[in-house]
Amino acid sequence: MNEVIHTLMPWLVLAAGILLTLLVSVIRVESKRPAQISALLTLVVTGVLSLQAISLPGEAIFAGSIEVSSLTRILLALFSLIGILFVLGGDRYLGKERIHLSDYYHLLLILILGAGIMVAAKDLVVLFIALEVMSLPAYTLAGFRRNDSRSNEAAIKYFVLGGAVGAVFLLGSAFIFGATGSTLFPSIHEWSRQSTTGGNPLFAAGHFLVMVAFLFKVAAAPFHFWKPDVYEGAPTPVTGIMSTLIAVASFVTLVRLVHLPALDASGWETYATAVKVTIRSLAVISLLVGSLVIITQKNLKRLFAYSSISQTGYLMLGLLASLHPGQGISPVLIYLFGYVFAAVGIFVLMTQSEPRGDTGVELVDLTGLVKRSPFRTALWSILLFSMAGMPFTVGFFTKYLVFLSSVGTGETPLVVLAALCAVVSAYAYLRPIGLMVMRDADPGAAQWGGGFWSQFVVVVSVIAVVFLGLMPNAMIHYLKGIPLIH
């Protein structure tokens, strides 16, 4: 029992921190600081504890339903870091929007705990519970501007879709349970090695249902229609959390679910081809939708919703490559890490524009920013360069690695398409820079102003983007050592 407690320490600290945060927010209702400080402390301790244990060997606990490994530890540390950055960076926005409530912080912690368990789950039912623990606070946070009907709408849309996704995932789990007699990942893997029937229809149906559920979660086109609306309506820091934390947790889980059966086992060739064709076509559709529709967007949150759809497309390339024998998952992880740093900076920058009614930040708000705030323009430009995949930023290397792994597995036509899409969508990322530098300020443009902590977070993420862009080897070496799922 002691070993279990020791292994799970970061998760337990996080869970205790949720209770502590709830407690202090009930004791001191009139002030938000105690809850904020308690949340920050919890996240710092969680992050440090999981980083400290990172090189320990993986351990399966609770009858194998949860596996704590280097991968789950580093992801929990990443989630804590994202949490810290958004607690610091979202502070001013919440005050401006008059939604600075203590509840925000403990909901955020519950969300992080759910994501942390989800990436460690090795059992379909535990995975379902973790998914709901992550999603329920996310629905609430999306509707946090509760007097604004746009935020209500975003929350309702997210909730209805999330509820349906949860049910579809569960039906898939039930089918897999029916076919294999177990919900544990290792047992299902073992079953697929032994069964030579390959296309067992019950298992195939179940596996496709659980994959579709997570394809909705990561918003791979054509399952993406909810994303722009939810992004636009939710409070900006919450949109940032969805776009980084929830996206990373969901994509990592999708990768595990795709790798659920041993696709290279004999008798599974037809099924493996079907899975590959599905992923390949969804990657193509996501890339096309993401990079073509993004050009027409005027609202920045919608723009980055389509951006994240095309990121899903690039990630699917890495996922497809990982299905080939001998290929690891490291390009996907490296891409996710690189994307997170740029996205955190961008969403925190977005919270710095003064609100104009209830519409989010529009492109017009950026006009003439270089004269009004040259430093902020520089920060915007570096982060947008990274999103567009320009050299000397982390976005370039992460895309390059994904493309490289994809070419290595004979997917050259797909890579050519992806590269073309990157060129097309670069227009959408570079146009805001053009508006900031070349144009005079539009009379309707919003004022910009960030507090110290908000600016601090942006500077930190810009430094991370540039540092990892110039010296990617540190991150690559580290993440390459992390073994694949099983």
Cβ pair 366, 435 in contact under 8 A: yes
Tokens for 51, please give them: 């980083």
Q: Which stretch binds other proteins (CB under 8 A): 150-158, 214-222, 363-371, 456-464?
A: 150-158
Least distance from C-beta 428 to other proteins, angstroms? 14
34, 41, 51, 177: which one contacts other proteins (CB under 8 A)?
177
59, 103, 148, 442: which one contacts other proteins (CB under 8 A)?
148
Cβ pair 180, 187 in contact under 8 A: yes
Q: Which stretch binds other proteins (CB under 8 A): 147-155, 276-284, 442-450, 475-483?
A: 147-155
Least distance from C-beta 301 to other proteins, angstroms? 10
The one-letter amino acid at 370: V
Least distance from C-beta 178 to other proteins, angstroms? 4
8, 39, 155, 329: which one contacts other proteins (CB under 8 A)?
155
**Nearer Cβ to other proteins (55/298):** 298
Give the 3-state DSSP-derived string for the chain, with helices as H, strands as E and coil as C.
Answer: CHHHHHHCHHHHHHHHHHHHHHHHHHHCCCCCHHHHHHHHHHHHHHHHHHHHCCCCCCEEECCCCEEECHHHHHHHHHHHHHHHHHHHHHHHHHHHCCCCCCHHHHHHHHHHHHHHHHCCECEHHHHHHHHHHHHHHHHHHHCCCCCCHHHHHHHHHHHHHHHHHHHHHHHHHHHHHHHHCCCEHHHHHHHHHHCCCCCCHHHHHHHHHHHHHHHHHCCCCCCCCHHHHHHHHCCHHHHHHHHHHHHHHHHHHHHHHHCCCCCCCCCCHHHHHHHHHHHHHHHHHHHHHHHHHHHHCCEHHHHHHHHHHHHHHHHHHHHHHHCCCCCCCHHHHHHHHHHHHHHHHHHHHHCCECCECCECCEHHHHCCHHHHCHHHHHHHHHHHHHHHCCCCCHHHHHHHHHHHHHHHCCCHHHHHHHHHHHHHHHHHHHHHHHHHHHCCCCCCCCCECCCHHHHHHHHHHHHHHHHHHHCCHHHHHHHHCCCCCC
**Nearer Cβ to other proteins (26/160):** 160
**Nearer Cβ to other proteins (65/381):** 65
Q: Is 53 exposed, middle or buried (0-12, 13-18, 19+ CB in 10 A)?
A: middle
Least distance from C-beta 45 to other proteins, angstroms? 27
Which residues make Cβ contacts (< 8 Å) with residue 410, sequence separation at least 6? none
Least distance from C-beta 215 to other proteins, angstroms? 17
- What is the x/- site pattern for other proteins, positions 203-232, by CB under 8 A? -------------------------xx--x
**Nearer Cβ to other proteins (169/396):** 169
Q: Which stretch binds other proteins (CB under 8 A): 169-177, 255-263, 330-338, 348-356?
A: 169-177
Q: Which positions from 266 through 305 interact with other proteins, judged by CB under 8 A?
A: 296, 302
- What is the x/- site pattern for other proteins, positions 117-146, by CB under 8 A? --------x--xx--x---x--xx--x--x
Cβ pair 406, 415 in contact under 8 A: yes
64, 166, 408, 449: which one contacts other proteins (CB under 8 A)?
166
Q: How many residues bind other proteins (CB under 8 A)?
A: 41
Q: Which stretch binds other proteins (CB under 8 A): 159-167, 260-268, 376-384, 460-468?
A: 159-167
Residue 182 binds other proteins, judged by CB under 8 A: yes
Q: Which stretch binds other proteins (CB under 8 A): 22-30, 171-179, 213-221, 247-255?
A: 171-179
Q: Which positions from 68 through 127 interact with other proteins, judged by CB under 8 A?
A: 125
Residue 183 binds other proteins, judged by CB under 8 A: yes
**Nearer Cβ to other proteins (147/473):** 147
Cβ pair 188, 182 in contact under 8 A: yes
Residue 218 CA, distance from chain mean position: 8
Least distance from C-beta 206 to other proteins, angstroms? 10
16, 26, 56, 167: which one contacts other proteins (CB under 8 A)?
167
Residue 152 binds other proteins, judged by CB under 8 A: yes
Least distance from C-beta 18 to other proteins, angstroms? 15
**Nearer Cβ to other proteins (49/155):** 155
Residue 175 binds other proteins, judged by CB under 8 A: yes
Cβ pair 309, 289 in contact under 8 A: yes
Residue 437 binds other proteins, judged by CB under 8 A: no
Residue 256 binds other proteins, judged by CB under 8 A: no
Least distance from C-beta 32 to other proteins, angstroms? 20
Residue 233 binds other proteins, judged by CB under 8 A: yes
**Which residue bears the tokens 């992806």?**
418
Contacts with other proteins, residue ranges (CB under 8 A): 125, 128-129, 132, 136, 139-140, 143, 146-150, 152-157, 159-160, 163-164, 166-168, 170-171, 174-175, 177-178, 181-183, 228-229, 232-233, 296, 302
